[in-house]
């Protein structure tokens, strides 16, 4: 039987000035099931709470209605009071008679009668409240970082340093990501390898970090604190435990037809190769597609030359299953395909390159050993033209709508480095806007223009063509000078738009993490929770959440790590008990609820049910309470009413509606 | 089509009576906890007044609102029902209000199709920062309902 | 060519003897030629028929049939096949235990319409071979105790057949003689909805009141509907808060039908069974078809039911107010 | 019609949203008759959005445009500069059409050699 106590707060004069609190307490005291009713100056004060606790004890109350300020203010306070008084904290309802009554209605009669109605609604609701217990689940103290670029490495290092186990899954044969391919980094011009490789080594040596390179995530199951992940470790055809990393195999490999991915295809590598000298792990991999042994069955030179007997042509992909408490997506970026930008002749003219290719050309470890040589004839170019926004800020459907953010700065960097190393080179940059908001960024760009004499031209390139003598003619407009220019260039560098890596979409689906139309992961809140995915236990690091440069990526990687550490440091996860619940007797298993659930909290199971017509097996919805956030979309989508939301059940809301309309 | 005897008495007045002096409308507002309920609180903090006839029912998300809740309010004598949620794209649960938008568009379309005055139902997107919008929306809606008068077409006659 | 019941039966028998199914769900002759009823045939085929009066949609019976061991062969008309596909999609049937045999349909005949033509004592129907009327419409010879009557076929077809645009089976295991299906669509699918939409709001209200006040809550519309397949209907569930066994006032008449339309919104396969079975002849399909029209206009074609999906640029609910108010 | 209204008319006719332009100048960078034109494709977009259509209408540029649509092809923001040029050209011609031939001046052309039918055709074509 319901025994409800009503507590009306004056809130000093905040409520009492516009609402006749005595009348409210009296009127509500006459309501059915109400056995106690009182008013007090400040219910949230120590004394007010004592009043509630005493009343609970003396009247054996089962439910509490507090008529006070907004539940957003003090619901938690009064729930705590209730629990201290010995009743379930979820047996408390608040009638908001301050923000939504006394403060907005001047007329005391109207405000008082509204306060009574709001009180009645709360009483009506509390009659149907059920004691709820906060759910708990364990936490696997291990994190998974997907992606081994700077974002993933930094996140993993930070988590590992805090004492938790971390696994990194990287699809390439080595960690390092895009940053490993870069030459210098803006705005300080320190060399990328010099700052990245120590971190790579640290990650490999760290006792808490395990690397799965040349591996991909195949399946993710479970929920926050309890993920179960299948990782496919692709066959390298090299036994990692035996290989000494001497590199003899790569030197002897007779196949030289495959483009070297690390050098963006500017030179060739063997079929067995180590991506680059500082690769981690320093273990080669066989590219079976180009390997002569795999194609013809004859060769095996690498095997003959391997002193460690590490080559194993019969190796198979391996599936590793592991449990994790948290998952970090750090899948990084790639640059867009430029096939749709015929006007720049990227594929037609070898001397039109992307910035990433230029990065390799300028890199001392690159295909030209750092000498500026153009790809077509190896000549040192005398005139360079940089084109920005190639596919960025493009709404025509050929590129991406967003600003790729990093291009302005790396173009300034390239221009500056070129002028520094080769002062006799003319460098032109076509730009739409130079976006350099960042610490020392604008100064950096201005230095390129002012000290290094880079010619910045506001305008875009409309066409690149060959003049017939092997020269690239770059025609563009200078819209400040209001003239059309044609520059005879030796080499053109395109700042192609950056996009999330292709693997992000399928990963998002596996993680049930939401993504935007550009395949960037969506954050739980754009301002206040920028490193968390709306899917609990999934965190975001680096470019996969939105365009970022290195310092921002590292900052976000650290932030994601802190969130992971915060999660893993808990032994038990408490969950909001106001979650959806499905009645297996009524559920038809139609899947409507599953389709509207934003968190993937609903699954289906075969249940043995007997609704009075005999025992049978039915497919019914099951809510994973650790994953459910309690939005109630499923409850409204369920035609039979089998799905309901605890704390906001249909019955409770009907009771409130009835009380309000009485 | 034949109109049988039973419903002739229920037919709406040919000339709807202009709202009489004593009529005070009853308005039920379903507000999502994260945006619109907070917006209502903000209207309170800013002392932005709106009619006391507006009674707010808190729901976690606008997508919790089942069409039956709205119909129940009308059954029990509400003259107008307004549903307020986060702006599309800002839902606390990321996609809830997109479903609300479809459900309510289609529900209201059906009510209109059945001859229920469409002005009596409404969906508004009110963020936690839009206290002023909350107050002005409620003022405007209450005024509209006032001019429409008592809801006679979708109520339980026993409750009127 | 006419669809012969015996040819269908022959096919069914062959399939059963080939081991494709253990029993057959089809139609059975009643006392009169026109009162066929859905029936399960387990060992013999006494009374088996498939003729112009076999209008009932059999797919909903499969919910229970597919719980039994072994396979049930079910006859599926083109318009029923979408219902079967939906039941499968919503996991309401165990499709592996069903052998769906698509049968041709040339439109089904509404006995009430024959009676409206003043024809009594019907004992059978034949297609008129000669005298095809000049607009190409077929005529039927209605055989009665009092002699033959000739009636244009379209005048006695069910309304659901006149608005039928589904002449192709979907998701059947086998389709038998599809070439015998005939197009019976009169091209006016949304006319009824449009007519109501164009009424002033007062008139719309009176129209629906006059219709829905006839409702006796027999629940036939719900029970026949292949989409209304909940294990327990919300109106039968005492805990739902809106349970009701009978309409006690006009609000409940409205509520039941609004909520039923809303629950099938976006899922309705437009088979027209609700209106066909209504003993009070309430044009219930006009509610469902309104939703079909709205969804088409507002959201276009979609793979998922309209209420279970969204796009970020969906129309705001205010589009309803922006529709011209016709009675001002 | 004021100059501003005329600009709005040109925008309406062309079906272009000049506000979409992010002023990158790619249209002018690609334009093959850039050198011939007094006003260039990006300027058409800019000037029309500022209501400065008179200068465009009086300039030769509207006849130097080849309507090759390369500016439309290259534009990253779907602005369609060529459509604006076309609209300005049309407006300019319509205006001339109104002035060019009037029934009063037509009589001056009447002589024994000019067929009357030609005069009627000219009249129809150049007055609106």
Least confident of B66-70, C282-286, C299-303: C299-303
Which residue segment(s) compose the domain that A468 sits in? 336-498
Q: What are phi and psi of A501, to 5 degrees?
A: -60, 145
Give the whole-angstrom CA distance, residue C289 versus residue C188. Answer: 12
Are A370 and A426 members of one domain?
A: yes
Q: Please report the pLDDT score of residue C328 as a whole number.
A: 34
Beta strand segments in A432-529, E:
455-458, 461-466, 472-478, 483-489, 491-496, 498-500
CATH number, domain containing residue A50: 3.40.50
In a domain, A658, yes or no: no
Q: Do A657 and B69 touch (CB under 8 A)?
A: yes
Q: Which of C144, C175, C206 is the last residue of a domain?
A: C175
Are A92 and A222 members of one domain?
A: no
In a domain, A280, yes or no: yes
Are A90 and A24 members of one domain?
A: yes
Q: Do C306 and B155 touch (CB under 8 A)?
A: no
User: How many A/C residue pairs have CB atoms within 8 Å?
Assistant: 58
Over range D74-82, report the average pLDDT: 93
Q: At A430, which helix (H) or strand (E)?
A: strand A426-431
Q: Which residues pair with A320 in a beta bridge?
A: A231
What residues of B are in contact with residue A101 (Cβ under 8 Å)? 52
- Please give the structure tokens belonging to residue C325: 């108010």
In a domain, A387, yes or no: yes
In a domain, A419, yes or no: yes
> How is the beta sheet containing A142-146 ordered, strand by strand?
A209-212, A165-169, A142-146, A326-329, A538-540
What residues of C are in contact with residue A606 (Cβ under 8 Å)? none
Tell me which range, A614-618, C114-118, C191-195, is most confidently predicted by mean pLDDT: C191-195
Are A226 and A363 members of one domain?
A: no
What is the assigned CATH class of domain B24-159? alpha beta
- Minimal C-alpha gap between B88 and chain A (Å): 14
In a domain, C196, yes or no: yes
In a domain, A376, yes or no: yes
What residues of C are in contact with residue A640 (Cβ under 8 Å)? 230-234, 237
- Interface contact B103, partner C, CB < 8 A: yes
CB A335 within 8 A of CB A497: yes
Indicate contact of D with C: 3+ CB pairs under 8 A: no
C33-64 pLDDT tens trace:
888 999 999 988 999 999 889 999 999 999 99
CB B40 within 8 A of CB B85: no
Q: Taking Cα atoms as reference points, which of A250, A285, A283 lies closest to residue A269?
A: A250
CB A458 within 8 A of CB A479: yes
- Between A104, A110, A660, which is nearest B48 by CB? A104
Are C306 and C196 members of one domain?
A: yes
Are C142 and C200 members of one domain?
A: no
Quote the mean pLDDT of chain A: 93
- Interface contact B138, partner A, CB < 8 A: no
Q: Please report the pLDDT score of residue C127 as a whole number.
A: 75
Most A CBs within 10 Å, among C69, C227, C229, C231, to test the A interface: C231
* DSSP-derived secondary structure for A119-163: HHHHHHHHHT------EEEE--SEEEEE--SHHHHHHHHHHHHTT
A438-490 pLDDT tens trace:
999 999 999 999 999 999 999 999 999 999 888 899 999 999 999 999 999 99
pTM: 0.71
Q: Which of residues 642-661 of A touch C (CB under 8 A)?
A: 642, 650-651, 654
- Minimal C-alpha gap between B155 and chain C (Å): 6
Q: At A59, which helix (H) or strand (E)?
A: helix A46-59
Chains touching chain C, criterion 3+ CB pairs below 8 Å? A, B
Are A548 and A615 members of one domain?
A: no
- Taking the CB of residue A320, how many other CB atoms lie within 10 A of it? 14
Are A65 and A212 members of one domain?
A: no
In a domain, A264, yes or no: yes
Instruction: Say how many CA atoms lie within 13 Å of A630 toward its Cβ.
Output: 18
User: How many A/D residue pairs have CB atoms within 8 Å?
Assistant: 76
> Is the model's pLDDT at A613 over the cut of 60?
yes
Are A586 and A630 members of one domain?
A: yes
The band of B69, judged by pLDDT with boundaries at 50, 70 and 90, is: very high
Are A362 and A468 members of one domain?
A: yes
Nearest residue in chain C measured CA to CA from B160? C251
- Minimal C-alpha gap between A103 and chain B (Å): 5
Q: Do B7 and C209 touch (CB under 8 A)?
A: yes
> Is the model's pLDDT at B39 over the cut of 90?
yes
3-state secondary structure of C184: coil
Are C55 and C171 members of one domain?
A: yes
Q: Which of C175, C205, C229 is the last residue of a domain?
A: C175
Are C66 and C131 members of one domain?
A: no
- Minimal C-alpha gap between B1 and chain A (Å): 32
> Is the model's pLDDT at D101 over the cut of 80?
no
Give the whole-angstrom CA distance, residue B91 versus residue B127. Answer: 10
Which residue segment(s) compose the domain that C24 sits in? 5-107+166-175
Give how many domains chain A has, as a whole number. Answer: 5
Q: What are phi and psi of C314, to 5 degrees?
A: -55, 155
- Please give the structure tokens belonging to residue D104: 């009063």
- Minimal C-alpha gap between B4 and chain A (Å): 31
CB A100 within 8 A of CB A114: no
Over range C294-298, report the average pLDDT: 92
Q: Taking Cα atoms as reference points, which of C101, C114, C145, C106 lies closest to residue C34?
A: C114
Most A CBs within 10 Å, among D32, D38, D76, to test the A interface: D76
Are C25 and C171 members of one domain?
A: yes
Are A55 and A83 members of one domain?
A: yes
In a domain, C274, yes or no: yes
The band of C300, judged by pLDDT with boundaries at 50, 70 and 90, is: confident
Are C12 and C73 members of one domain?
A: yes
Are A596 and A634 members of one domain?
A: yes
Q: Do B52 and A110 touch (CB under 8 A)?
A: yes
In a domain, A448, yes or no: yes
In a domain, A474, yes or no: yes
Residue ranges and CATH numbers for the domains of chain D are: 3-97 (1.10.1060.10), 99-128 (no CATH)
A346-398 pLDDT tens trace:
999 999 999 999 999 999 999 999 999 999 999 999 999 999 999 999 999 89
Are A217 and A83 members of one domain?
A: no
Q: Taking Cα atoms as reference points, which of B42, B25, B99, B41 lies closest to residue B65?
A: B99
Over range D31-57, report the average pLDDT: 92
> Is the model's pLDDT at D123 over the cut of 80?
no
In a domain, C294, yes or no: yes
What residues of B are in contact with residue A632 (Cβ under 8 Å)? 59-61, 63-64, 96
3-state secondary structure of A469: coil
Give how many domains chain C has, as a whole number. Answer: 3
The band of C179, judged by pLDDT with boundaries at 50, 70 and 90, is: confident
């Amino acid at each position: 039987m319901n025994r409800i106590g009503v507590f009306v707060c004056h809130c000093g004069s905040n409520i009492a000035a516009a609402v006749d609190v005595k009348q409210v307490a009296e009127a509500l005291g006459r309501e059915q099931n109400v056995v106690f009713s009182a008013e007090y100056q400040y219910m949230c004060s120590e004394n007010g709470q004592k009043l509630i606790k005493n009343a609970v004890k003396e009247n054996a109350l089962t439910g509490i209605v507090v008529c006070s300020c907004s539940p957003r203010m003090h619901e938690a306070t009064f729930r705590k009071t209730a629990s201290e008084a010995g009743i379930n904290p979820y047996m408390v309802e608040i009638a908001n008679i301050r923000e939504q009554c006394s403060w907005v209605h001047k007329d005391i009669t109207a405000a008082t009668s509204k306060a009574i109605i709001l009180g009645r609604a709360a009483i009506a609701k509390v009659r149907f409240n059920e004691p709820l217990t906060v759910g708990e689940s364990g936490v696997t103290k291990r994190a998974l970082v997907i992606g081994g670029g700077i974002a993933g490495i930094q996140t993993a290092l930070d988590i590992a340093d805090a004492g938790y186990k971390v696994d990194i899954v990287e699809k390439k044969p080595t960690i390092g990501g895009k940053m490993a391919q870069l030459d210098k980094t803006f705005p300080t011009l320190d060399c990328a390898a010099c700052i990245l490789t120590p971190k790579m080594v640290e990650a490999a040596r760290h006792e808490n970090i395990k690397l799965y390179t040349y591996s991909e995530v195949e399946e993710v199951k479970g929920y926050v604190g309890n993920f179960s992940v299948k990782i496919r470790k692709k066959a390298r055809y090299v036994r990692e435990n035996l290989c000494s990393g001497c590199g003899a195999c790569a030197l002897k490999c007779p196949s030289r037809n495959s483009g070297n991915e690390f050098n963006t295809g500017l030179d060739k590598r063997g079929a067995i190769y180590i991506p680059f000298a500082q690769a981690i792990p320093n273990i080669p991999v066989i590219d079976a597609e180009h390997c002569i042994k795999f194609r013809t069955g004859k060769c095996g030179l690498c095997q003959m030359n391997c002193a460690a007997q590490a080559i194993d042509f019969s190796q198979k992909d391996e599936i590793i299953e592991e449990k994790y408490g948290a998952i970090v997506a750090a899948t990084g970026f790639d640059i867009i395909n430029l096939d749709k930008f015929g006007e720049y002749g990227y594929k037609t003219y070898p001397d039109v390159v992307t910035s990433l290719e230029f990065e390799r050309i300028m890199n001392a470890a690159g295909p030209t050993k750092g000498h500026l040589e153009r790809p077509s004839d190896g000549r040192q170019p005398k005139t360079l033209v940089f084109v920005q926004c190639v596919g960025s800020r493009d709404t025509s459907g050929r590129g991406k709508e967003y600003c790729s953010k990093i291009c302005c700065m790396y173009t300034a960097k390239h221009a500056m480095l070129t002028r520094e190393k080769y002062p006799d080179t003319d460098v032109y940059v076509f730009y739409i806007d130079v976006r350099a908001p960042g610490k020392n960024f604008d100064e950096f760009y201005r230095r390129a223009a002012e000290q290094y004499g880079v010619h910045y031209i506001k305008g875009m390139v409309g066409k690149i063509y060959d003049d017939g003598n092997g020269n690239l003619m770059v025609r563009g407009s200078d819209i400040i000078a209001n003239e059309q220019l044609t520059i005879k260039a030796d080499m053109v560098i395109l700042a192609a738009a950056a996009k999330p890596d292709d693997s992000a979409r399928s990963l998002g689906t596996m993680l049930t993490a939401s993504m935007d139309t550009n395949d960037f992961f969506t954050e739980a809140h754009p301002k206040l929770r920028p490193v968390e995915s709306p899917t609990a236990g999934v965190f975001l690091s680096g470019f996969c959440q939105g365009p970022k440069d290195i310092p921002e990526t590292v900052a976000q990687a650290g932030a994601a790590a802190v969130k992971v550490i915060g999660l893993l440091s808990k032994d038990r996860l408490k969950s909001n008990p106001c979650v959806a619940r499905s009645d297996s007797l009524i559920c038809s298993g139609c899947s409507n609820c599953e389709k509207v659930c934003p968190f993937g909290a609903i699954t289906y199971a075969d249940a043995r049910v007997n609704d009075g017509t005999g025992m049978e097996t039915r497919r019914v919805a099951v809510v994973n309470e650790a994953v459910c956030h309690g939005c109630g979309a499923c409850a409204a989508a369920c035609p039979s009413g089998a799905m309901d939301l605890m704390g906001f059940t249909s019955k409770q809301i009907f009771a409130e509606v009835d009380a309000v309309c009485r | 089509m034949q109109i049988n005897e039973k419903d002739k008495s229920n037919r709406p007045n040919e000339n709807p009576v202009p709202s009489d002096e004593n009529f005070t409308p009853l308005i039920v507002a379903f507000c999502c906890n994260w945006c619109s309920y907070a917006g209502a609180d903000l209207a309170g903090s800013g002392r932005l007044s709106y009619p006391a006839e507006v009674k707010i029912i808190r729901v976690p998300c606008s997508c919790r609102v089942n069409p039956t809740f709205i119909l129940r309010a009308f059954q029990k004598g509400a003259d107008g029902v307004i549903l307020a949620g986060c702006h599309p794209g800002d839902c606390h649960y990321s996609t809830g209000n997109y479903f609300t938008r479809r459900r309510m568009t289609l529900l209201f379309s059906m009510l209109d199709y059945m001859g229920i005055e469409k002005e009596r139902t409404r969906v508004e997107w009110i963020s936690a920062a839009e206290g002023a919008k909350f107050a002005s929306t409620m003022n405007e809606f209450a005024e509209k309902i006032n001019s429409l008068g008592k809801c006679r077409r979708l109520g339980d006659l026993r409750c009127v | 060519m006419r669809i012969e019941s015996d040819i269908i039966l022959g096919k069914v028998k062959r399939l059963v003897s080939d081991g494709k199914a253990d029993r057959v769900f089809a139609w059975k002759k009643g006392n009169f030629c026109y009162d066929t009823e859905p029936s399960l045939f387990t060992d013999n085929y006494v009374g088996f028929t498939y003729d112009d009066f076999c209008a009932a949609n059999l797919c909903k019976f499969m919910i229970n049939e597919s719980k039994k061991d072994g396979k049930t062969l079910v006859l599926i008309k083109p318009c029923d096949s979408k219902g079967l596909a939906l039941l499968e999609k919503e996991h309401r049937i165990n499709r592996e235990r069903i052998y769906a045999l698509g049968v041709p349909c040339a439109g089904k005949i509404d006995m009430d319409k024959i009676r409206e033509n003043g024809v009594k004592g019907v004992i059978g129907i034949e297609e008129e071979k000669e005298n095809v009327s000049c607009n190409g419409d077929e005529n039927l010879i209605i055989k009665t105790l009092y002699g033959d009557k000739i009636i244009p076929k379209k005048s006695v077809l069910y309304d659901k057949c006149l608005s039928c645009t589904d002449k192709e089976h979907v998701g059947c295991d086998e389709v038998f003689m599809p070439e015998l299906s005939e197009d019976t669509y009169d091209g006016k699918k949304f006319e009824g909805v449009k007519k109501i939409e164009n009424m002033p709001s007062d008139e719309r209200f009176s129209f629906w009141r006059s219709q829905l006040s006839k409702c006796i809550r027999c629940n036939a519309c719900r029970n026949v509907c292949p989409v209304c397949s909940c294990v327990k209907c919300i109106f039968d569930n005492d805990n739902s808060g809106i349970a009701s066994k009978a309409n006690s006032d006009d609000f409940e008449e409205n509520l039941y039908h609004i909520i039923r339309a809303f629950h099938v919104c976006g899922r309705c396969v437009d088979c027209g069974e609700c209106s066909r079975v209504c003993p009070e002849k309430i044009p219930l399909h006009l509610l469902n078809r309104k939703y079909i029209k709205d969804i088409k206009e507002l959201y276009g074609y979609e793979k998922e039911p309209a209420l279970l999906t969204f796009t970020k640029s969906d129309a705001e609910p205010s589009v309803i107010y922006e529709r011209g108010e016709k009675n001002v | 019609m004021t100059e501003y209204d005329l600009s709005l008319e040109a925008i309406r006719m062309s079906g272009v949203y000049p506000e979409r332009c992010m002023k990158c100048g790619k249209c002018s960078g690609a334009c093959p008759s850039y050198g011939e034109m007094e006003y260039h494709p990006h300027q058409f977009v800019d000037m029309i959005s500022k209501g400065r259509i008179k200068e465009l209408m009086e300039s030769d540029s509207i006849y130097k445009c080849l309507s090759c649509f390369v500016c439309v092809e290259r534009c990253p923001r779907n602005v369609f500069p060529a459509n604006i040029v076309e609209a300005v050209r049309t407006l300019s011609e319509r205006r001339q059409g109104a002035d060019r031939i009037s029934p009063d001046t037509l009589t001056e052309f009447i002589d024994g050699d000019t067929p009357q039918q030609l005069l009627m055709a000219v009249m129809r074509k150049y007055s609106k």
